[in-house]
């Protein structure tokens, strides 16, 4: 309880004391004006003295704002219905578990995709052929590719000299195409993306990728 609140309670107590004192003075004045009847002898002191005043153990304060100061203490807040929050030039961190339901009204949304790059595939000899050179500190993440073979051949993609796909058999004139924005496969950090042919054949196509 801070000093201002204590001062308010003292003021209320002082008011209660003054009220009791005024009541005592009123009773004393009434006693002076009461006439004697018969032989009744009133020996009591006409002046009523209050040497002590008993104050109530509980004091009720109604419609009196009391200042409350809370410093460096977390406050739990529960809110139902709609929130209206105004925050100017201040970052806010929100932690939410479960499912969010967000409604945007009369506002256009712009969806930005991460930068993608494109390159062609042109391999003619058995072994590894580089498709995308290594990027320092980055992975090559493939999100789409297509290949077509001029002859029967088995192909696979590699991170440097390490396989990152299984072997895929192509027949003469056949091909494969696949895409997934979350990424189909990726190299290790700082390694090139290669295509490996099991035999001499012409394999052409393209790769869409990100550097991550």
Q: How far is CA 193 from the centre of its chain?
A: 39
Residue 8: in which H helix or E strand, if any? helix 3-33
Global pTM reads 0.50
Greatest CA span in the chain, whole angstroms? Answer: 144
| pLDDT by 10s per residue, the chain, length 212 | 567 777 777 777 777 777 777 787 878 777 766 555 544 444 445 454 444 545 455 555 556 555 555 566 665 656 666 666 555 666 655 566 667 676 777 777 665 567 899 999 999 999 999 999 999 999 999 999 999 999 999 999 999 999 999 999 999 999 999 999 999 999 999 999 999 999 999 999 999 999 99
SS (H, E, C) 18-52: HHHHHHHHHHHHHHHHCCCCCCCCCCCCCCCCCCC
Distance separating alpha carbons of residues 196 and 32, to the nearest angstrom: 122
Q: Which two tokens stand for residue 125?
A: 């000899």
Q: What is the DSSP string of 9-20?
A: HHHHHHHHHHHH
């Amino acid at each position: 309880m801070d000093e201002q609140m204590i001062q308010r309670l003292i003021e209320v107590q002082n008011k209660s004391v003054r009220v009791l004192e005024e009541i005592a003075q009123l009773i004393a004045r009434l006693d002076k004006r009461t006439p004697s009847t018969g032989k009744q002898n009133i020996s009591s002191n006409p002046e009523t003295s209050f040497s002590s005043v008993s104050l109530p153990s509980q004091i009720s304060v109604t419609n009196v704002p009391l200042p409350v100061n809370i410093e460096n203490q977390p406050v739990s807040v529960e809110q139902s219905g709609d929130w209206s929050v105004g925050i100017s030039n201040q970052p806010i961190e929100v932690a939410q578990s479960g499912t969010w339901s967000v409604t945007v009204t009369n506002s256009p949304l712009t969806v930005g995709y991460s930068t993608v790059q494109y390159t062609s595939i042109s391999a003619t000899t058995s072994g590894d052929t580089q498709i995308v050179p290594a990027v320092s500190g980055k992975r090559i993440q493939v999100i789409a590719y297509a290949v077509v073979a001029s002859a029967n051949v088995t192909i696979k993609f590699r991170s440097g000299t390490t396989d990152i796909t299984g072997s895929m058999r192509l027949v003469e004139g056949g091909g494969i195409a696949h895409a997934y924005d979350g990424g189909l496969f990726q190299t290790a950090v700082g390694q090139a993306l290669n295509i490996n042919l099991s035999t001499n054949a012409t394999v052409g196509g393209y790769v869409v990728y990100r550097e991550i």
